[in-house]
């Protein structure tokens, strides 16, 4: 085969690959785009194509006291889950990835099980357990249920970071006279920071969007996804896609903000000390 | 003078595996001692115990006469330069050097002054103080790691082959610098490496470790010229080895070829069965010249080593290495005679 025809085949392959990637992206994002479109409809019922564009449902969402309460519940649950899961996961990840101990192999395998357990079943199981213990479901029990599912994920994310840095850094600090506590605060924690940050982000977003666990365990303190579901089942209003769209926008800002922050962090590392 | 560090019958087991077998070693104040061994010889296990990151199963480690077996690394007045250097990537060069001082709560101003002093001592410009670690080259990182260890002001400074990742020329430069710094600071340096070359350049004394045992301890010259056994002799550099049997009259017979050799008068080991001669001790003999031991063969290869040339001579199907300053008159394919005086060979235990 001539060099030219190889080049031509190469170019064709690249075009096909781009096309493929584009098709996949459209397939993945079309539902979200559909939600955005639906949220701008002027009509109460979903008819496509719609006659008139409007932002009245966004106004309705932002002024609704009812929705504010759901937002508050969701924020409360997601905030608590983020803080608790990060603290548990940092130490869990150190046990997972750094220190050799009896039973570590078992721990590493068992830790992942809750992720693979169907969430609806997990939620029901937790609800049954709560009722057996006589605990009334509320936002605190929802936090607990979310933690069961989210802590393993955050642990894994932070573990990756731990695998990525040389354990002799901790040994060196210890050898240079630092106490265990100083080693943790001066060396381990700063090096883990990027992992902790992305772990926290995951924890927040996973808890914020969770439906199957919340529906069983949040009791009276319903969250945003629960409200959306109940409105889809009965009493549809375009406030649902409007709120959904708003949530997505906030999540996008959060992710881009996080990306910008991590880039800033890398740049700061790249010239660390220079700006003192 | 009492030794600064003493190992008394230090024994280390991992399960049933004997990692170190009854190691005895004395290291004196201001000495540069290198522990050399091939990989798997137990040198890493040994240094981890010396710095306090592991403990011997039995035996004692004494620092100025006091037992320190169970004292943790962060409580010992010694420290180590790690193989990976273990410089903190999230800290500047200055902060790295000041780390041990910060741990001791030394005020910022004197910390900085000391860091500047150390940068100067290690031939690094003051502007490095604010540099990031990954902006430094391999050689600069070595110096920063050494500066950090010196800032700790240890009684003994340990090294876990930190130079192994560098290219040859830089390594040679740093070896000499390290030796110079050891002289000027007067500190005791204990270095471990697998490279005997590195050990020869820097050390006052070398200890050779083989499968968990200390085979020989001595000055570089002692070990090079009077190795205790065939392993040490081979470890110290290329050497020709003939298996021999000793007759009652003292002559040696080659067990492979039946050739008789004249034995060296100074014999390290009376039951030695390995006759060993360094390539540079063997000469190519011109026609008519005689020596205690002479072999005939064919010159099969020649390698230039810069100032010297190494030849391979095939003798009775075996290859003998000969090394000369400059070049020989013979070329590849020529029949040659090689010979060595009896006393330049060593008769050692196999």
User: Quick one: which of B186, B180, B196, B162 has its CA closest to B36?
Assistant: B196
- B132/A191 touch (CB, cutoff 8 Å), yes or no: no
CATH of domain A59-270: 1.10.3720.10
Residue B82 touches chain A, beta carbons under 8 Å = yes
**Which of the listed residues B187, B202, B230 is the one where a domain comes to its end?**
B230
- Give CA B124 to chain center in angstroms: 27
Q: What integer is the mean pLDDT of A184-208?
A: 92
User: Are B255 and B329 contained in the same domain?
Assistant: yes
Q: What is the pLDDT of residue A275?
A: 38
Specify whether the CB–CB gap between A190 and A165 falls below 8 A: no
Kindly list the residues from chain A whose CB atom is less than 8 angstroms away from the CB atom of residue B99.
173, 176, 178, 186
Residue B224 touches chain A, beta carbons under 8 Å = no
- B89/A179 touch (CB, cutoff 8 Å), yes or no: no
Q: What is the pLDDT of residues B5-60, one digit of tens each?
A: 999 999 999 989 999 999 999 999 999 999 999 888 999 999 999 999 999 999 99
User: Are B318 and B224 contained in the same domain?
Assistant: no
Q: What is the pLDDT of residues A69-93, one digit of tens each?
A: 999 999 999 999 999 999 999 999 9
Q: What integer is the mean pLDDT of A213-238?
A: 89
Output DSSP code: residue A43: S
User: Are B14 and B140 contained in the same domain?
Assistant: yes
A88 Cβ contact list (under 8 Å, min separation 6): A147, A151, A154, A155
Residue with tokens 């579901």, as numbered in its chain: A229
Give the integer Cα–Cα distance in Å for A240 and B140.
60
User: Are B160 and B55 contained in the same domain?
Assistant: yes
Q: What is the pLDDT of residue B68?
A: 93
Q: What integer is the mean pLDDT of A143-165?
A: 94
Q: What is the pLDDT of residues A85-133, one digit of tens each?
A: 999 999 999 999 988 888 898 998 898 888 888 999 999 999 999 999 9
User: Are B137 and B267 contained in the same domain?
Assistant: no
User: Are B188 and B76 contained in the same domain?
Assistant: yes
- Give CA B2 to chain center in angstroms: 24
Q: What percent of chain B has pLDDT above 70? A: 99
Q: What percent of chain A has pLDDT above 90? A: 53
Domain that holds residue B245: 231-348
- Rounded to the nearest angstrom, the minimum Cα separation between B176 and chain A is 25
Give the integer Cα–Cα distance in Å for B146 and B287.
56
User: Quick one: which of B343, B347, B337 has its CA closest to B244?
Assistant: B347
Specify whether the CB–CB gap between B202 and B163 falls below 8 A: no
Q: What is the pLDDT of residues B4-14, one digit of tens each?
A: 999 999 999 99
Q: What is the pLDDT of residues B272-305, one digit of tens each?
A: 889 999 999 999 888 888 888 999 999 999 998 8
User: Are B208 and B133 contained in the same domain?
Assistant: yes
User: Are B203 and B286 contained in the same domain?
Assistant: no
User: Are B223 and B236 contained in the same domain?
Assistant: no
Q: Which of B94, B103, B135 sits opposite A176 (nearest CB)?
A: B103
Q: What integer is the mean pLDDT of B227-252?
A: 87
Residue A192 touches chain B, beta carbons under 8 Å = no
- B131/A273 touch (CB, cutoff 8 Å), yes or no: yes
User: Quick one: which of B310, B305, B339, B336 has its CA closest to B323?
Assistant: B310
Q: What percent of chain B has pLDDT above 90? A: 65
Q: What is the pLDDT of residue A1?
A: 62
At B265, which CATH number? 2.40.50.140
**Which of the listed residues B177, B202, B230 is the one where a domain comes to its end?**
B230
**In which band, very low, low, confident or very high, does the pLDDT at A269 lie, cut at 50, 70 and 90?**
low
**Which of the listed residues B195, B230, B265 is the one where a domain comes to its end?**
B230
Give the least confident one: A148-152, A158-162, A184-188, B306-310. Answer: B306-310
Nearest CA in chain B to A274: B130
Query: How many structural domains comprise chain B?
Result: 2
- Give CA A114 to chain center in angstroms: 16
Q: Chains A, B: CB contacts under 8 A, how many? A: 81
User: Are B206 and B329 contained in the same domain?
Assistant: no
Give the integer Cα–Cα distance in Å for A250 and A201.
13
User: Are B318 and B252 contained in the same domain?
Assistant: yes
Kindly list the residues from chain B whose CB atom is less than 8 angstroms away from the CB atom of residue A175.
51-53, 73-74, 79-80
- Rounded to the nearest angstrom, the minimum Cα separation between B228 and chain A is 36
**In which band, very low, low, confident or very high, does the pLDDT at B118 lie, cut at 50, 70 and 90?**
very high
User: Are B138 and B245 contained in the same domain?
Assistant: no
Domain boundaries, chain A: 59-270
Q: What is the pLDDT of residues A17-54, one digit of tens each?
A: 999 999 999 999 888 888 888 888 777 766 666 667 78
Q: What integer is the mean pLDDT of A182-203?
A: 92
Q: What is the pLDDT of residue A274?
A: 41
Q: ipTM score here? A: 0.84
At B36, which CATH number? 3.40.50.300
């Amino acid at each position: 085969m001539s060099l030219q025809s190889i080049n031509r085949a190469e170019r064709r392959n690249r075009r096909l690959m781009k096309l493929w990637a584009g098709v996949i992206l459209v397939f993945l994002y079309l539902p979200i785009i559909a939600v955005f479109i639906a949220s701008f409809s002027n009509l109460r019922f979903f008819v496509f194509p719609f006659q008139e564009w409007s932002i009245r449902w966004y106004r309705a969402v932002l002024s609704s006291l009812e929705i504010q309460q759901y937002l508050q519940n969701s924020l409360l649950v997601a905030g608590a889950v983020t803080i608790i899961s990060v603290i548990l996961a940092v130490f869990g990840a150190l046990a997972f990835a750094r220190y050799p101990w009896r039973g570590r192999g078992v721990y590493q395998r068992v830790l992942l099980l809750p992720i693979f357990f169907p969430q609806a079943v997990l939620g029901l199981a937790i609800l049954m357990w709560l009722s057996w213990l006589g605990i009334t479901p509320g936002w605190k029990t929802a936090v607990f249920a979310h933690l069961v599912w989210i802590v393993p994920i955050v642990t894994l994310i932070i573990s990756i970071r731990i695998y990525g840095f040389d354990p002799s850094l901790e040994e060196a600090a210890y050898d240079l006279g630092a106490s265990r506590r100083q080693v943790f605060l001066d060396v381990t924690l700063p090096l883990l920071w990027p992992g902790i940050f992305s772990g926290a982000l995951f924890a927040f977003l996973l808890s914020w969007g969770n439906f199957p666990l919340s529906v069983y365990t949040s009791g009276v303190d319903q969250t945003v996804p629960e409200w959306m579901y109940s409105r889809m089942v009965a009493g549809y209003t375009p406030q649902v896609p409007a709120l959904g769209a708003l949530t997505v926008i906030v999540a996008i800002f959060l992710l881009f903000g996080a990306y910008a922050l991590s880039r800033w962090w890398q740049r700061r590392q790249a010239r660390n000390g220079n700006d003192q | 003078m009492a030794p600064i560090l003493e190992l008394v019958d230090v024994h280390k087991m991992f399960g049933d595996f004997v990692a170190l077998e009854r190691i005895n070693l004395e290291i004196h104040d201001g000495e540069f001692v290198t522990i050399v061994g091939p990989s798997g010889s137990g040198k890493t296990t040994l240094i981890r115990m010396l710095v306090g990151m592991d403990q011997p199963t039995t035996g004692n480690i004494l620092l100025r006469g006091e037992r320190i077996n169970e004292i943790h690394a962060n409580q010992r007045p010694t420290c180590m330069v790690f193989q990976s250097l273990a410089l903190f990537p999230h800290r500047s060069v200055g902060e790295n050097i000041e780390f041990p001082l910060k741990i001791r709560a030394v005020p910022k101003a004197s910390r900085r002054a000391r860091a500047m002093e150390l940068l100067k001592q290690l031939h690094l410009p003051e502007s490095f103080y604010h540099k990031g670690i990954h902006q430094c080259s391999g050689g600069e990182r070595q110096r920063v790691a050494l500066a950090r260890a010196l800032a700790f002001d240890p009684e003994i400074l340990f090294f876990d082959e930190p130079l192994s990742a560098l290219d040859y020329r830089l390594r040679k430069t740093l070896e000499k610098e390290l030796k110079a710094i050891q002289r000027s600071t007067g500190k005791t340096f204990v270095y471990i490496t697998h490279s005997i070359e590195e050990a020869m350049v820097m050390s006052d004394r070398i200890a050779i470790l083989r499968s968990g045992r200390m085979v020989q301890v001595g000055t570089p010259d002692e070990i090079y010229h009077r190795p205790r056994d065939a392993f040490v002799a081979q470890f110290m550099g290329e050497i020709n080895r003939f298996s021999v049997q000793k007759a009652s009259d003292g002559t040696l017979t080659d067990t492979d070829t039946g050739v008789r050799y004249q034995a060296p008068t100074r014999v390290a080991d009376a039951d030695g069965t390995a006759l060993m001669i360094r390539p540079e001790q063997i000469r190519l003999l011109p026609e008519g010249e005689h020596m205690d031991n002479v072999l005939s063969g064919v010159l099969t290869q020649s390698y230039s080593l810069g100032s010297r040339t190494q030849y391979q001579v095939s003798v009775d199907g075996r290859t003998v290495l000969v090394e000369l300053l400059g070049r020989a008159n013979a070329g590849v394919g020529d029949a040659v005679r090689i010979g060595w005086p009896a006393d330049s060979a060593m008769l050692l235990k196999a």
